[in-house]
Structure 1
């Protein structure tokens, strides 16, 4: 039997007070900027579309999809580059600790309907990744080439705007890694990594559901709390947490 965590507003408020995040508007201005969209695919966002998809409509996820689409259209209309990660796995090859998901040919690995237009956009680059961290997933095992670094160097980007799912998993791992990439001087031009709050989301798995499914305690995942912790972790590592993106 798992112990339920109280996920009401008072608990979230206490966590927000203890681990504060202060989102502010982010203005791109005249800096070369690119948009990174993390895993906005059916298997994570479309109701009933696989083992890790939402089981019912979810406001936070719906807002993330809508805002990701809005920003992607705004970037491409200006001729600015967009890169989308698509979580994609070989059938039968596990990614512990998660159940099988987003396997090739299942449709789960495809962009959500709202973003399917990116497949034909000349400003969009799509990278299929088979692990949580998009930076690692961009590395070709045989050659060692990193498609993400090639994209960044090609466009000489000074600013990255990041959106996607899950705030505290794939988005966070990517952003934290990119902050080290920047600080290590691997991309000379890169200065800002801005995470747009309304463009990010995560999933909800209450303690009661985890218990019913006989999952371990570590599977418990209250959406609002996990989302906040993801934002806090990225902020404390040096990411700009953006309440709005001004182009």
Structure 2
């Protein structure tokens, strides 16, 4: 498929499935937490693993840059941050994906731009061994680390960013929205996804056709679909995030 045809297809989709995005304005009194989904080397750093980009990728690079800026603001304001780190047992496969992000490996670590979060008191990091971070937060005793985090901090909103928009981010958002609707996450009200701080991977059709058992995954198209699906599930989608100080 030529680039002109690909662009036309995506442009048509966005016209048929328009994505309404808002601007998020936060004050010092906003009870909000930031959730980082898998902003780790294994998904973001060029050449870092089977699911990492093979060459520099603009969408992923911009997501990491925006995430680092936002995380710094949240830390400066001492607002809670919850970070998921994909981390797998080498003996437990996760089909249909190839081996990736083994526990203790560099792949499973935060990208260099976010490594500093490991020393911040307002940051909770959670290793997860599945796509959906909400499920990955479950403990053997029936408790849920993410639910406890929301309740402990009395959060009324969570702002979700990370990778992949249409996979781990979308699955997590869907579970959180369902849990909120059931009253499991009280006092949580708003589940927000920041489009500019999300990204997904790129696997064009012509490449996928050369890899047995692989399906195409055009980046811009799947990013849009992921955000559109999130909004359809009840998440708020925002394209800008800013803070203001109340007088």
Question: What's the TM-score, normalizing by structure 1?
Answer: 0.95
**2: CA distance, partners of 1:18 / 1:150:** 40
The answer for the alignment partner of 1:184 in structure 2 is 182
Q: What secondary structure does 1:182 align onto?
A: helix
Give how far 1:237 is off. Answer: 1.2
**2: CA distance, partners of 1:23 / 1:172:** 16
Give how far 1:96 is off. Answer: 0.7
**2: CA distance, partners of 1:188 / 1:42:** 33
Equivalent residue for 2:149, pick from 148, 151, 165? 151
**2: CA distance, partners of 1:111 / 1:92:** 23
Give how far 1:134 is off. Answer: 0.4
Matched, 1:93 2:92: yes
Give how far 1:105 is off. Answer: 2.8
Q: Report 1:32-51 matches (<5 A).
A: 32-51=31-50
The answer for the alignment partner of 1:171 in structure 2 is 169
Summarize deviations over 1:88-129 as a string: whole Å, max 9, x none. Answer: 001121001100000013210000000000111101000000
**2: CA distance, partners of 1:14 / 1:64:** 25
**2: CA distance, partners of 1:5 / 1:100:** 31
1:18–1:143: structure 2 CA closer, same or farther, 3 Å change rule?
A: same
The answer for the alignment partner of 1:70 in structure 2 is 69
Give how far 1:82 is off. Answer: 0.4
The answer for the alignment partner of 2:219 in structure 1 is 223
Q: What secondary structure does 1:212 align onto?
A: coil
CA contact (8 A) 1:7 1:222 kept: no
- Alignment size in residue pairs: 242
Summarize deviations over 1:27-81 as a string: whole Å, max 9, x none. Answer: 2332200000000000000000000000000000001001111111000100100
Summarize deviations over 1:200-238 as a string: whole Å, max 9, x none. Answer: 00000011111112234xx21000000000000001111
Summarize deviations over 1:148-207 as a string: whole Å, max 9, x none. Answer: 011111000001111000000000001111111111111221111111011000000011
Which has the larger displacement, 97-106 or 196-205? Answer: 97-106
1:196–1:92: structure 2 CA closer, same or farther, 3 Å change rule?
A: same
Point out where structure 1 has 5 or more consecutive residues left out of the alignment. none
The answer for the alignment partner of 2:202 in structure 1 is 204
CA contact (8 A) 1:129 1:137 kept: yes
Give how far 1:23 is off. Answer: 1.0
CA contact (8 A) 1:4 1:207 kept: no
Q: What secondary structure does 1:28 align onto?
A: strand
Point out where structure 2 has 5 or more consecutive residues left out of the alignment. none
The answer for the alignment partner of 1:8 in structure 2 is 6
Q: What secondary structure does 1:164 align onto?
A: strand
1:4–1:104: structure 2 CA closer, same or farther, 3 Å change rule?
A: farther
Question: What's the TM-score, normalizing by structure 2?
Answer: 0.95
